[in-house]
């Protein structure tokens, strides 16, 4: 399968990924879960590189959820260390490829060394314009929406506007992604048929692609399959076929 079969003028502007299956992949190899997380982290580099080559403008990866803090302490520490290593090792590549790194979520919960490396890469890449790599870290969509409600309520109390003036476009400005397009395509690996508290507001009309492939095995060919499937879809956004 080749990227030449893609219609490059019909690529999704924003692709969101839930990279699931590291633990199951490791078990299949007769290894500990840690082994799967290491391979999965390495795979992030491959997919980010390919997305950049194709010309995808925004790539959001669900790196660590609010709920993931409840995992065994040792596993959380390993995941945090892998994130820190990624930020250090890939910083030069991110800058060289003019990728802008962003992060959404309650990142203040991250261990200080991880947060420092994250902020450093975000700052150094802030002027890059060729692609946005958006990590959802310590992220949960419900907490994002609650945060937005709190902030918008504060502004109403301050008299900045009346409650009846709030519409969906206005509300979206209070989310973590006010200047980003909503995801056109969500890819979830490992076959799980759920969105796991990820971008609930933003994915109201997102096309979903679920593959049985586990994240460490999700390579360029698998990414192409998802994009080709997306290009077969007719996106109507609530309209009828005759209205499009």
- Choose the weakest-confidence range: 14-18, 52-56, 239-243: 239-243
Residue 161 lies in a domain: no
Residue 173 lies in a domain: no
Catalytic residue, candidates 68, 97, 128, 197: 68
Task: Give tens-digit pLDDT for 156-176.
Answer: 999 998 999 999 999 999 999
Residue 68 is among the residues annotated as catalytic for this protein: yes
Residue 167 is among the residues annotated as catalytic for this protein: no
Task: For residue 206, name the pLDDT band (cuts at 50, 70, 90).
Answer: very high
Give the pLDDT mean for 197-220: 97
Q: Is the pLDDT of residue 241 over 80?
A: no
- Choose the weakest-confidence range: 82-86, 172-176, 177-181, 240-244: 240-244
61 contacts: CB under 8 Å, gap ≥ 6:
16, 17, 19, 44, 48, 133, 134, 135, 136
Residue 151 lies in a domain: no
User: In the predicted model, what is the mean pLDDT of the chain?
Assistant: 94
Supply the CATH number for residue 122's domain: 3.40.1180.10
Task: For residue 122, name the pLDDT band (cuts at 50, 70, 90).
Answer: very high
- Pull the structure tokens for residue 62: 């669900």
Q: Is the pLDDT of residue 243 over 60?
A: no
Residue 129 lies in a domain: yes
Length, in residues, of the chain: 244
In whole angstroms, what is the distance from residue 66 CA to residue 69 CA? 6
* Range(s) of the domain holding residue 127: 12-141+182-230
Residue 103 lies in a domain: yes
Q: Could you give the number of structural domains in the chain?
A: 1
Q: Which residues pair with 210 in a beta bridge?
A: 188
In whole angstroms, what is the distance from residue 159 CA to residue 154 CA? 9
The percentage of residues in the chain with a pLDDT greater than 70, rounded to a whole number, is: 95
In whole angstroms, what is the distance from residue 202 CA to residue 183 CA? 7
Residue 149 lies in a domain: no
Task: For residue 234, name the pLDDT band (cuts at 50, 70, 90).
Answer: confident
Q: What pTM, to 2 d.p., does this model score?
A: 0.93
Residue 120 lies in a domain: yes
Question: What's residue 117's pLDDT?
Answer: 98
25 contacts: CB under 8 Å, gap ≥ 6:
36, 39, 40, 214, 215, 216, 217
Catalytic residue, candidates 20, 22, 66, 184: 20
54-92 burial, b for 16+ CB within 10 Å, e for fewer? bebbbbbbbbbbbebeeeeeeeeebbbebbbebbeebbe
- Pull the structure tokens for residue 67: 């709920």
C-alpha atoms less than 13 angstroms from C-alpha of 210 in its C-beta half-sphere: 7
Residue 24 lies in a domain: yes
């Amino acid at each position: 399968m080749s990227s030449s079969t893609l219609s490059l003028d019909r690529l999704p502007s924003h692709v969101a990924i839930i990279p699931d299956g590291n633990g199951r992949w490791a078990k299949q190899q007769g290894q500990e879960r840690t082994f799967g997380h290491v391979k999965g982290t390495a795979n992030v580099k491959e997919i980010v590189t390919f997305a950049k080559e194709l010309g995808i403008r925004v790539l959001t990866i669900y790196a660590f959820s609010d709920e993931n803090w409840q995992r065994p302490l040792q596993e959380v520490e390993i995941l945090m260390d892998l994130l820190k290593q990624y930020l250090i090792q890939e910083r030069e590549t991110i800058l060289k490829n003019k990728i802008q790194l962003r992060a959404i979520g309650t990142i203040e919960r991250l261990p200080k060394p991880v947060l420092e490396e994250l902020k450093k890469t975000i700052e150094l890449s802030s002027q890059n314009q060729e692609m946005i790599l958006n990590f959802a870290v310590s992220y949960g969509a419900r907490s994002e929406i609650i945060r937005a409600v709190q902030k918008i309520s504060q502004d109403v109390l301050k008299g900045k506007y009346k409650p009846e003036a709030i519409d969906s476009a206005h509300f979206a400005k209070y989310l973590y992604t006010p200047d980003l397009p909503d995801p056109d395509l969500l890819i979830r690996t490992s076959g799980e048929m759920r969105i796991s508290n990820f971008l609930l507001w933003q994915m109201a009309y997102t096309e979903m692609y679920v593959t049985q492939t586990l994240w460490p095995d999700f390579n360029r060919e698998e990414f192409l399959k998802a994009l080709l499937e997306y290009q077969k879809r007719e996106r109507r956004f609530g309209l009828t076929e005759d209205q499009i």
